A and B are shown apart, each in its own frame.
Chain A
Amino acid sequence: MRRAPGLAALGLAALWIQGALAGLVPGFVFPDLVFLGVVGVAIAVGGAEGLLVAAAVGYAMDFLTSALLGQHALLLVGAYAATRVASLRLNLLRPVPRVVFVAVLSLIYDLGFVGVGRLFTEVPLDVEWIFVRRLLVHALLNVLFAPVVVAIVQRASAVLAGEDEPGRRSLRVEPRERVL
């Protein structure tokens, strides 16, 4: 039962790292570690446990940013669900499907973020070239960092679940009809 709190703590650590680095570089030229972490949780953990981790980290992010309370939580849970659905058709542990999926999901996630913000606030939705360029740079960085973050989440998940005994490799067999 320590896996979910452990992964949520890892998400909080990712938030802290992002917060510290945001003072050095603009947020869009740094990968979204929390988003990638949630994708990793969807691949490595799944189930209601993973959903709760995504929601908890999302709310923590809402507390530490100017976002509306629930905005990150909603989109991270959406990203989690999308990853679970995609993993039914694609093997997201393989490089090519993962690159395509993370790039598309990253764009949808960022656009969704701005769109949800527009729905609930008076912030205008001005899609300028600078905005599109930032979305693309952010997506590219997310794609580049996805293998590392997913591997860290997988490893942490295995350690926290007590599956890291030497010489033992876990075999993941999942029924295809499970959606989330």
Chain B
Amino acid sequence: MRDLLDRLRIPLVFSAIVVLTLATMVTDRRALRAGGRDHGMLASVVLDVTAPVQRVLTAPANFAVDLWGRYMALLAVRNENDRLREQVARLEEENLQFREALVQSGYLDQIAAMRSEYETPMLPAQVVGQDASAWFRSVLLDRGRTHGVGSGMPVVTDRGVAGLVTDTSGRASRAMLITDRQSSMDGIVQRSRALGIVRGLRDGRLEFEFAVRGSDVRVGDVMITSGLGGAYPKGLRIGEVLEVGEPGDLLQTAVVKPAVDFGRLEGVFVMLWRAPTMDLLYAEEGGVLRKESRGRR
């Protein structure tokens, strides 16, 4: 009997591991579909251990990239400066005209009231590591639950939306980027208000899927978040339409270039805000955070 058990030990361990992995995948898939993914304490420990190590490992690489970037930027800085000065002057003029129009129409006070109601605190965070797998797009951030970060919070840069926090530990968190194949969000074309779903493509670009009927999407159109998907607030810049595909029977797709340069993602902001749906899904994560975010809204 003992001999038999010894001989079966490895096949039994192998089978047990396969069953365990399949079970965790099914469970995780269900959680992901419901939007309330949480890997628990073990994941927290791995994240907490990894964040400081990754920060040390990433620092020299970032320094080299930064140095090269600065050198290249210096070469083009004069032309850029002239162009920007011209642009600032033009925008200031435009801004003045818009303000004047708003004052005249009496909307300025209403907008100021809305702004104070919707203004969201942003927490600066550093990207300390990228996804170790070749097939996924996520980043490791150096801010976690102790800093007020929770799963389901949007991650943005000054250029636009970058992703969504999916896992948190005490001092670190992981955010799935919008370019990940599993990521999907509701987007809207700023010009024509055409509504659809934006998904990550394998090559670092995005795919915008929209209904053929009644939608007007053109190359160069700016995409923003619609606020309908239950994850991101309305009005965050997603990117710019690069190509518009052939229309199908019902749906059509367009390729979108993300506004954020994911190749040089170092500093981001975590919006300390969760959409009501996300707040319900991650309700167990922290009562204080929920109260605060509700208060803000």
A binding-site residues for B, Cβ under 8 Å: 15-24, 26-28, 30, 32, 34, 47-48, 51-52, 55, 58-61, 63-74, 77, 81, 110, 113-114, 116-117, 120-121, 123, 126, 130-131, 134, 138, 178-180
Contact = CB atoms under 8 A, between A and B. Distances in A.
B138 A65 contact: yes
Contact of B132 (A65, A71, A120): A65
A90 B174 CA distance: 41
A16 B42 contact: no
Interface string B13-42: 110011011111111110010000001001
A103 B80 CA distance: 47
Contact of B130 (A22, A48, A67, A81): A22
7 contacts: A19-B140, A23-B127, A24-B65, A61-B133, A65-B131, A73-B17, A77-B18
Given A47-B10, A74-B21, A23 B132 contact: no
Nearest 4 Cβ contacts at the A-B interface: A27-B134, A22-B130, A70-B21, A20-B57
Contacts of B65: 23-24
Interface residues of B, number: 53
Contact of B25 (A71, A113, A178): A71
B10 A51 contact: yes
Interface in B1-20: 9-11, 13-14, 17-18, 20
A77 B14 contact: yes
B61 interface: yes
A65 B21 CA distance: 16
Contacts, number: 159
Contacts of B293: none
B46 interface: yes
Interface stretch (B143-151, B175-183, B234-242): B175-183
| Overall SS of chain A's interface | helix
Q: For B22, B131, B180, B203, which residue has the most chain A Cβ atoms within 10 angstroms?
A: B131
A60 to B, nearest CB: 6
Contacts of A27: 131-135
Interface stretch (B47-55, B104-112, B277-285): B47-55
Given A27-B134, A70-B22, 16 more contacts: A16-B54, A19-B129, A20-B54, A20-B57, A23-B61, A27-B132, A55-B21, A60-B46, A65-B136, A66-B180, A68-B24, A74-B21, A114-B135, A123-B181, A134-B134, A179-B10
Interface of B: 9-11, 13-14, 17-18, 20-29, 32, 39, 42-43, 46-47, 50, 53-54, 57-58, 61-62, 65, 127, 129-138, 140, 166-167, 174, 176, 180-182, 202-203, 265
Q: Which of A15, A32, A61, A64 has the most CB of B within 10 A?
A: A64
B25 A69 contact: yes
A15 B57 CA distance: 11
A120 B25 contact: yes
Contacts of B203: 130
B233 to A, nearest CB: 22
A99 to B, nearest CB: 20
A18 B65 CA distance: 17
A69 B182 CA distance: 14
B18 A64 contact: no
B170 to A, nearest CB: 15
A26 B262 CA distance: 11
A116 B203 CA distance: 20
Contacts of B181: 117, 123
A121 B21 CA distance: 15
B46 A66 contact: no
Given A63-B167, A69-B39, A70-B28, A19 B130 contact: yes
B39 A48 contact: no
Contacts of B18: 74, 77
A77 B127 contact: no
Contact of B47 (A16, A64, A66): A64
A68 B133 contact: no
A55 B24 CA distance: 12
B22 A74 contact: yes
